[in-house]
Amino acid sequence: MMAEEVKLFRSWSSPFPLRVIWALELKGIPYEVILVDLSNKSSLLLQYNPIHMKVPVLVHNGKSIAESLVILEYVEETWKQTPSLLPEDPYERAMERFWAKFGDDKVLPSLWNVFIKQGKDQEEAMVPAQENLTNLEELLRGKNFFSGERIGFLDLAFGWLANMVSVFEEVMGATVLDNQKLPSLSAWMKNFMDAPIIKESWPPRDKLITKCQALRQAHIEKEAPK
Amino acid sequence: MGEELKLHGAWISPFVYRVIWALKLKGVPYEYIEEDLSNKSPLLLKYNPVHKKVPALVHAGKPICESMIIVEYIEETWPQYPLLPIDPYERAMARFWVKFAEEKGDAVWALFRTSGEEQEKAMKGTLEMLKTIEEHSPDAKKFFGGDKIGIVDIAFGAIGYWLGVVEELLGVALFEAHAFPRLHAWLKNFTEAPKIKENLPGRDELVVFVRSWRAERLLASQN
């Protein structure tokens, strides 16, 4: 059998490459990490992801794939060993894809919008963010994980919530996710955070806090009345 | 499979047409329900509570929403006339371009909704998108799917056809043949393919509709 070469371009902090790392680790696929400094993009990244110049990029036997959720589906189809990431039933698969898209298109931007604001602007931004999180609470009802009994595609897609919400809340000094109102989501976040493989993967929290503080500061200064 | 299949749509929606094309190419029968987008049916709101939008495909009572997710569902449920290649890497490439269409296509939809500075920004975004596809997408034989229409053609086809509508509406030429020769040739192939040609809303009717819709919005925003 041909020796497989799997490389993954990531940055130290971006949550999107983590999705791919989790998938590769869960399936026991050996891979090499290429660490990218996103403030100083290398020509190598340009060569492998010329269209977006972003991480993650998976390079498998010299062929590159970008877009984290696309990569997850590629990993699932290429390495068929367990655990399988997606359900077999087409309807269940469509549901996971739908909610993963909701996560990236709605949940993430709405939480980011709360994070970069303050005062009344932040209060207003809380409303859609909390509505979106309530949708996730309802999705989880009666389940341990978004994908059912064990971690799957949808958990990997939402995984960033497990550590980034608390980082955001600490930096901005405000709560967006009320544990009392969203008990299932809070429980999931804790379970996912501490799950085998997942728990070893998180970027250093103190570095994340520092980085997020700088980002929030920059956004607030930009919006400040002149 | 004799289960009930219904599509909630609107004749003006490019997203709905993506689903129609997939169903027609595969020869899958369905019932079409036209929604009045200014007065959405309780059924639609029940089937798509999160986004409250068309299309919503309902198969044996179970709803699926988001046009390209619906297309993937159709692909996995009815295997005839495959819309995705077999090879995992080729599938990943197709999915990459579908995501690109979903993300960058927003600039085209913004052209319909906006005016002034926002619209200028949307025009720039549209041109950038067209340039990237022209330069980076794999050589289209007849279609992005090869000799047959595939999922990438469906994703881009909606953008391409509706771009023609907004060009006529605004009296601008964004998608010029000399600037985008490959894409122009591709769009001609796509819109002339029998199953697509028979399933396109009239361009003139669309222009008339959008013109009055924009006028209504402008009036509402001024009050």
Model pLDDT for residues B94-146, shown as the tens digit of each residue: 999 999 999 999 999 999 999 999 999 999 999 999 999 999 877 768 999 99
Cβ burial of A66 (10 Å; 0-12, 13-18, 19+) is buried
Between chains, do A98 and B88 touch, taking CB under 8 Å as contact? no
Calculate mean pLDDT across residues B161-169. Answer: 96
Residue A74 at interface with chain B, using a CB cutoff of 8 Å? yes
Q: Which residue intervals of chain B bear CATH 3.40.30.10?
A: 5-77
For A52, other C-beta atoms within 10 Å of its C-beta total 15
Pinpoint the alpha helices (H) of chain A: 15-27, 43-48, 68-78, 90-102, 108-115, 119-140, 153-158, 160-172, 183-193, 205-223
A70 chain-B contacts, CB cut-off 8 A: 92, 95-96, 99
Residue A73 at interface with chain B, using a CB cutoff of 8 Å? yes
Kindly give the interhelix angle for B151-170 and B203-222, rounded to the nearest 10 degrees.
60
Q: How many residues does chain B have?
A: 223
Integer-rounded Cα Rg, in Å, for chain B is: 17
Calculate mean pLDDT across residues B141-166. Answer: 96
CB contacts < 8 A, A to B, total: 57
Residue B223 has pLDDT above 90, yes or no: no
Of B62, B88, B100, the CB nearest to A91: B62
Cα–Cα dist A64/A66, whole Å: 7
Cβ burial of B85 (10 Å; 0-12, 13-18, 19+) is middle
Domain A90-223 has CATH 1.20.1050.10: yes
Calculate mean pLDDT across residues B185-207. Answer: 96
Alpha carbon A104 to its chain's center: 8
The pLDDT, as a whole number, for residue B90 is 97
- Identify the band that residue B55 occupies on the pLDDT scale cut at 50, 70 and 90: very high
Residues 133-152 of A with CB under 8 A from B: 135
B65 chain-A contacts, CB cut-off 8 A: 98
Domain B5-77 has CATH 3.40.30.10: yes
**CATH ID of B88-221, from 3.90.1150.10, 1.10.3720.10, 1.20.1050.10, 1.10.150.120:** 1.20.1050.10
B88 chain-A contacts, CB cut-off 8 A: 74, 77-78
The pLDDT, as a whole number, for residue B22 is 98
Between chains, do A65 and B73 touch, taking CB under 8 Å as contact? no
Residue B64 at interface with chain A, using a CB cutoff of 8 Å? yes
Tokens of B70: 């619906």
Q: Which residue intervals of chain B bear CATH 1.20.1050.10?
A: 88-221
| A79: closest chain B residue by CA | B88
Cα–Cα dist B56/B66, whole Å: 7
CB A26 within 8 A of CB A151: yes
Single-letter amino acid code for the residue at A46: L
CA end-to-end distance (rounded Å), chain A:
65
User: B87 CA to chain A: closest CA distance, Å?
Assistant: 9
Calculate mean pLDDT across residues B170-196. Answer: 95
Residue A116 at interface with chain B, using a CB cutoff of 8 Å? no
A126-129: list long-range contacts, CB under 8 Å, 24+ apart: A126/A176, A129/A176
Between chains, do B69 and A69 touch, taking CB under 8 Å as contact? no
Tokens of A207: 């570095």
| B58: closest chain A residue by CA | A91
The pLDDT, as a whole number, for residue A3 is 63
State pTM to two decimals.
0.96
Task: Report domain extents, chain A.
Answer: 6-78, 90-223
A73 chain-B contacts, CB cut-off 8 A: 91-92, 95
Q: Which of B26, B75, B99 best probes binding to A when mutated, by most A CB atoms within 10 angstroms?
A: B99
Between chains, do A91 and B64 touch, taking CB under 8 Å as contact? yes
For A205-214, B106-115, B182-191, B214-223, which range has the lowest pLDDT when averaged over its residues? B214-223
Tokens of B75: 């692909």
Cα–Cα dist A216/A116, whole Å: 5
Give backbone dihedrals phi and psi of B15, rounded to 5 degrees, phi first: -70, -40
Residue A98 at interface with chain B, using a CB cutoff of 8 Å? yes
- Please determine whether the domains at A6-78 and A90-223 fall in the same fold group of CATH: no
Give the pLDDT confidence of A117-145 residue by residue, as tens digits.
Answer: 999 999 999 999 999 999 999 999 989 99
Calculate mean pLDDT across residues B35-49. Answer: 95
| Residues in chain A with pLDDT values less than 50 | 1
Residue A71 at interface with chain B, using a CB cutoff of 8 Å? yes
Integer angstrom CA distances of residue A18 from A12, B57, B119: 10, 33, 36
**What was the ipTM of the complex prediction?**
0.95
Between chains, do A98 and B89 touch, taking CB under 8 Å as contact? no
Q: In what order do the strands lie in the sheet with A32-35?
A: A32-35, A6-10, A57-60, A63-66
| B89: closest chain A residue by CA | A74
The pLDDT, as a whole number, for residue B140 is 63
Q: Which fold has domain A6-78?
A: Glutaredoxin (3.40.30)
CB A101 within 8 A of CB A108: no
The pLDDT, as a whole number, for residue A1 is 44
